Amino acid sequence: MFSVPFLTSLTSHLGTTAIDDASDSLSCLISAFLFIIAAILTSAKTYVGSAMECWVPQTYSGEWGEFAENYCFLKDTYWFPSKEVMSDIPEYHKEEHRLSYYQWSSMYMAMAGLAFMIPKFLWKMSQSYTDLPLIYFCDTANAIRSETADNRKEKVKEMAVFMRSKITAVHAPGSISNVRMYFVYAIIKILYLCIAAAQFIVLGYFLGQKKNLLWGWTLFMNLINGVTWETTGLFPRLTFCDFTVREMAGNNRDETVQCVIGINEFNEKIFLFLWFWLVFLFFSTVVAHGFNASQMVKPYFINSLLHTLRKPHDQNQKKLFMKFGYDYLTMDGKLILSFIKSQSDLVAQEVAVAMYNNYLEHLKATRPSITQEDLHKGIEKMKKIQIDEK
């Protein structure tokens, strides 16, 4: 089976785990893979094949022709419409239509692919700074989900008690070494979104389309309607290069040669695909993160896990469910239950029910009991108030 050693090693460290959802995989794995593969293909075309060929006067020797091609490849070139007569091309036109991306396209794609991996690295790093073993809960849920109810019972109780002890430790008043996992998780999700948006903007600037960030749609419509690069100047194949020939006698002369950038035939298709991919990635990330956040905040998440205990039209129970979610579980507990739910709905429901029963026991234990002496004092106080009113 075909494999790239670098990518194989990289994906082994960045492979999806139980605490990654589909949107995370799109960003840190698939997007990074697409950009790095594009970088490999582009670099092969650029440095193995012939990225640029220039037409030089017949008076030039072979060495001069090779020098012109190497120089023009390293130096920026500019595009000029083929239907217009060339005379003295103004400097502002050269600056406006300057091409400087074809030399760096492979490096840019590689760096962009690595940038997609930053949130994944930070998310894995954060696991060592928190006392919430998220992978443990997911692995345990995955291991016991197919077992019988009796076999799951003890393990579910153990998970419920363990989860509560970890949440209590993290949220202890004097605890400063532990971080709130839901806060880190929210930052990572926002970072995924910011990187997708930044990649979209940087791509436009890299290709010299900072005034038209929707260049991808423009190029797509041009291809459909048969409008070529000769009219639009997007990814031109023929460009011009200026350089000065210095002679020993001190007679310097300016030369302009026409060059064929064959790599742009390849760049056009790759960058157009990457533009559409970034648009898809951004909107899919917004929808996925927005949906997950709304589900976590709404009471529906807890109610769905405790549906076996629900009593219709019982307002007191609804309030108790809300207090259980906010005070006992906290956002960290909801986050853990969401990860468990991704492995097994049944195990997540059983753990939530076990924790809710523990919560009720906790309320009974902390509720102040009324003694006979307190009751007698209350009665005497009420009698005194009635006498005073008379």
Q: 54-83 pLDDT, tens per residue?
A: 777 666 666 777 777 778 888 888 888 776
What pLDDT was estimated at residue 328?
86
Which residue matches tokens 């600037």? 205
The DSSP code for 91 is H
> What does the block give as tokens for 364?
């009974």
Q: Can you tell me the distance from the alpha carbon of 22 to that of 42, in angstroms, rounded to the nearest whole number? A: 28
CA distances from 169 to 112, 131, 187, 228 (A): 39, 8, 22, 64
Does residue 324 sit in helix, strand or coil? helix
| Alpha-carbon torsion, ordered 315, 161, 291, 36, to 10 deg | 180
Is pLDDT at 287 greater than 50 in this prediction? yes
- Of 94-98, 190-194, 210-214, give the lowest mean pLDDT range: 94-98
Residue 348: which of 327, 333, 331, 358 has the closest Cα?
A: 333
Query: How far apart (Å, rounded) are the C-alpha atoms in residues 120 and 246?
Result: 53
> Which residues have a Cβ under 8 Å from the Cβ of 299 and sit 6 or more positions away?
318, 321, 322, 325
Residue 279 confidence (pLDDT): 94
Q: Which has more pLDDT, 350 or 298?
A: 350
- Each residue of 166-180: pLDDT tens digit? 888 777 665 555 667
Residue located via tokens 């029910």: 353
161 membership: H or E segment, kind and range: helix 149-170
Question: Are β-strands 238-245 and 98-99 bridged in parallel, bridged antiparallel, or unpaired?
Answer: unpaired
**What is the number of residues in the chain?**
390
Q: What CATH code is assigned to 5-130+179-297?
A: 1.20.1440
For the chain, residues classed under CATH 1.20.1440 are 5-130+179-297
Split at pLDDT 50, 70, 90, the class of 375 is very low
Distance of alpha carbon 301 from alpha carbon 198, whole angstroms: 32
Mean pLDDT, to the nearest integer, of 236-264? 78
